[in-house]
Amino acid sequence: MLPTVIGMQFLTSAFLLPYLATRSAEGEMMEKIPREDVSSVTQLAESRILGVAMGIVGTGSILWGAFARTEDFGDIATRYSSLLDLLSIDRVGSSFLVDLAIFGLFQGWLVDDDAKRRGIDSNSPLTKAAKYIPFFGLAAYLTFRSELLAVEDEQ
């Protein structure tokens, strides 16, 4: 998983889609995983701080893009027009929009899969928010979801 996450930072969907196609399917009954078998990368991804950090960075980016340095870049209408001009000539920028659309299509499926792994009802308000509210729904899901089904060693 770690090479996929690192590769996604550079080529986004070129790494995400093959991972989705080749990962193992979930069974009907999930077995609890011994805590020592959960990798450190997974433990980091399980942290509730991840969702909070995503929400803060995303909100900050939106606010910065819309309101920062108006003396240099103009008002929101000017910025929007500039963005459209840029996307009409820049293939890299346009490819990121395509990546966002592809991930948006897969997000509902991924959330359902994660909810199943955690024993969360796929019709819960949190799961529905994660599936249908782009970015902020997923940040809320990552912040408030239940723990991964893991157990401590019973001795």
| Single-letter code of the amino acid located at 98 | V
**Residue 13 clears pLDDT 80, i.e. is over it:** no
37-60 average pLDDT score? 84
* Residue 25 per-residue DSSP state: P
At 104 the pLDDT is 78
Reduce the DSSP state of residue 30 to 3 states and report it: coil
* Residue 24 per-residue DSSP state: P
Q: Specify whether the backbone of 12 is left (phi greater than 0), alpha (psi in -120 to 50) or beta.
A: left
Is 106 inside a domain boundary?
no
109-133 average pLDDT score? 87
Length of the chain, in residues: 155
Is 122 inside a domain boundary?
no
Domain tally, the chain: 1
Is 55 inside a domain boundary?
no
User: Where in the sequence is the domain holding 39, given as residue range(s)?
Assistant: 1-20+31-46
Is 51 inside a domain boundary?
no
Residues 6 or more apart from 141 whose CB is under 8 A from it?
51, 111, 126, 127, 129, 130
| Single-letter code of the amino acid located at 109 | W
Each residue of 45-56: pLDDT tens digit? Answer: 788 888 899 999
**Residue 151 clears pLDDT 70, i.e. is over it:** no
